[in-house]
Amino acid sequence: MADITDQKERSFPKIEFTDSEAGALTFPSSKSRSYNYYKPAKLRATMYEDVTVDVQPDPERHLTQGWIYGFGDGPGGYPQEWTTAKSSNWHAFLDPNEEWEQSIYRNNSAVVHQVELCLKNAKRARVYDSWNGPWLKFIERNVGAWMHAENGLALHVFTSIQRSGPTNMINTAVAFNAAHKMRFAQDLALFNLDLAEADVAFEGSAHKEVWQEAPEWQPTREVVEQLTAVGDWCELLFATNIVFEQLIGSLFRTELVMQVAARNSDYITPTLVGTGENDYDRDLGYTRVLFRLLTQDEEHGAANKELFGSWLAKWVPRCQEAAHALQPIWSQAAEKPVTFATSRANATAKFVSLLEDLGLDIPKELDQ
Amino acid sequence: MSRQSLTKAHAKISELTWEPTFATPATRFGTDYTFEKAPKKDPLKQIMRSYFPMEEEKDNRVYGAMDGAIRGNMFRQVQQRWLEWQKLFLSIIPFPEISAARAMPMAIDAVPNPEIHNGLAVQMIDEVRHSTIQMNLKKLYMNNYIDPAGFDMTEKAFANNYAGTIGRQFGEGFITGDAITAANIYLTVVAETAFTNTLFVAMPDEAAANGDYLLPTVFHSVQSDESRHISNGYSILLMALADERNRPLLERDMRYAWWNNHCVVDAAIGTFIEYGTKDRRKDRESYAEMWRRWIYDDYYRSYLLPLEKYGLTIPHDLVEEAWNRIVNKDYVHRVAQFFATGWPVNYWRIDTMTDTDFEWFEEKYPGWYSKFGAWWENYNRLAYPGNNKPIAFEDVGYNYPHRCWTCMVPCLIREDTVCEKVDGQWKTYCSETCHWTDAVAFRAEYEGRETPNMGRLTGFREWETLHHDKDLADIVEDLGYVRDDGKTLIGQPHLHLDDPKKMWTLDDVRGIQFMSPNVLLNQMSDDEREKHIAEYRLNDMSKIA
Contacts of A47 in chain B (CB under 8 A): 136
User: With a cut of 0.90, is the ipTM above it?
Assistant: yes
Contacts of B498 in chain A (CB under 8 A): 25, 27
- Which of A12, A55, A95, A161 has the most B C-beta neighbours within 10 Å, making it the best mutation to test the interface with B? A55
pLDDT of residue A366: 84
- 3-state DSSP call for residue B420? strand
Question: Tell me: the pLDDT tens digits for A183-222?
Answer: 999 999 999 999 999 999 999 999 999 999 999 999 999 9
Q: What is the mean pLDDT of residues A69-92?
A: 96
Contacts of A13 in chain B (CB under 8 A): 208-210, 279, 281, 284
For a pLDDT cut of 70, what percent of chain B falls above it? 97
pLDDT of residue A7: 73
pLDDT of residue B402: 97
Q: CA geometry: angle at A173 spanning A170 and A177, to 5°?
A: 130
Q: What is the mean pLDDT of residues B318-333?
A: 98
Q: CA A216 to CA A281: how far, in whole Å? A: 26
- Contact check, Cβ <8 Å, B124/A64: no
- Contact check, Cβ <8 Å, A229/B23: yes
pLDDT of residue A10: 86
Q: CA B206 to CA B413: how far, in whole Å? A: 26
Contacts of A66 in chain B (CB under 8 A): 458-460
Q: Taking the CB of residue A6, how many other CB atoms lie within 10 A of it? A: 5
A285 reaches B (C-beta below 8 A): no
B14 reaches A (C-beta below 8 A): no
Phi, psi dihedrals of residue B353, rounded to the nearest 5°: -105, 145
- Which of B122, B458, B462 has the most A C-beta neighbours within 10 Å, making it the best mutation to test the interface with A? B458
pLDDT of residue B4: 63
Closest listed residue to residue B147, CA positions, set B491, B380, B504, B505:
B491
Residue B144: pLDDT band with limits 50, 70, 90: very high
pLDDT of residue B42: 65
Task: Give the nearest partner residue to A19 out of B25, B76, B153, using CB atoms.
Answer: B76
- The DSSP line for B424-479 is TEEEEESSHHHHHIIIIISSSEETTEE-TTS-EE-S---GGGGGTTEEHHHHHHHH
- Contact check, Cβ <8 Å, B459/A65: yes
Q: Point out which residues pair with B450 in neighbouring strands.
A: B445
Q: CA B146 to CA A175: how far, in whole Å? A: 36
Contacts of B147 in chain A (CB under 8 A): 27, 29-30
Contacts of B121 in chain A (CB under 8 A): 154-155, 159, 178-179, 182
Residue A264 clears pLDDT 50, i.e. is over it:
yes
- Contact predicate A254/A279, CB 8 Å: no
Residue type, A85: A
- Contact check, Cβ <8 Å, B175/A163: yes
pLDDT of residue B545: 38
Q: What is the mean pLDDT of residues B133-142?
A: 98
For a pLDDT cut of 90, what percent of chain B falls above it? 88
- Contact predicate A88/A298, CB 8 Å: yes
Question: Tell me: the pLDDT tens digits for A270-305?
Answer: 999 999 999 999 999 999 999 999 999 999 999 999
Q: CA A200 to CA A136: how far, in whole Å? A: 8
- Contact check, Cβ <8 Å, A21/B145: yes
Residue B44: pLDDT band with limits 50, 70, 90: low
Q: What is the mean pLDDT of residues B529-540?
A: 90
Residue A47: pLDDT band with limits 50, 70, 90: very high
pLDDT of residue A9: 81
- 3-state DSSP call for residue B491? coil
Residue B409 clears pLDDT 60, i.e. is over it:
yes
pLDDT of residue B498: 95
Residue B354 clears pLDDT 80, i.e. is over it:
yes
Helices B94-110 + A168-197 axis angle, to 10: 50
Residue B46 clears pLDDT 90, i.e. is over it:
no
| List of residues 6+ apart from B325 with CB closer than 8 A | B262, B266, B331, B413
Report the predicted TM-score, pTM, of the whole model to 2 decimal places: 0.96
Question: Tell me: the pLDDT tens digits for B433-466?
Answer: 999 999 999 999 999 999 999 999 999 999 999 9
Q: CA B438 to CA A87: how far, in whole Å? A: 35
Residue B73 clears pLDDT 50, i.e. is over it:
yes
Task: Give the nearest partner residue to B106 out of A20, A116, A163, using CB atoms.
Answer: A163
Closest CA–CA distance from residue A357 to any residue of chain B (Å)? 31
B1 reaches A (C-beta below 8 A): no
Residue B543 clears pLDDT 60, i.e. is over it:
no
Tell the burial category of B334 from Cβ atoms under 10 Å away from its Cβ (0-12, 13-18, 19+). buried
Contacts of A172 in chain B (CB under 8 A): 98, 128, 132
Residue B179 clears pLDDT 60, i.e. is over it:
yes
Contacts of B143 in chain A (CB under 8 A): 22, 33
Question: Tell me: the pLDDT tens digits for A244-255?
Answer: 999 999 999 999
pLDDT of residue B544: 41
B367 reaches A (C-beta below 8 A): no
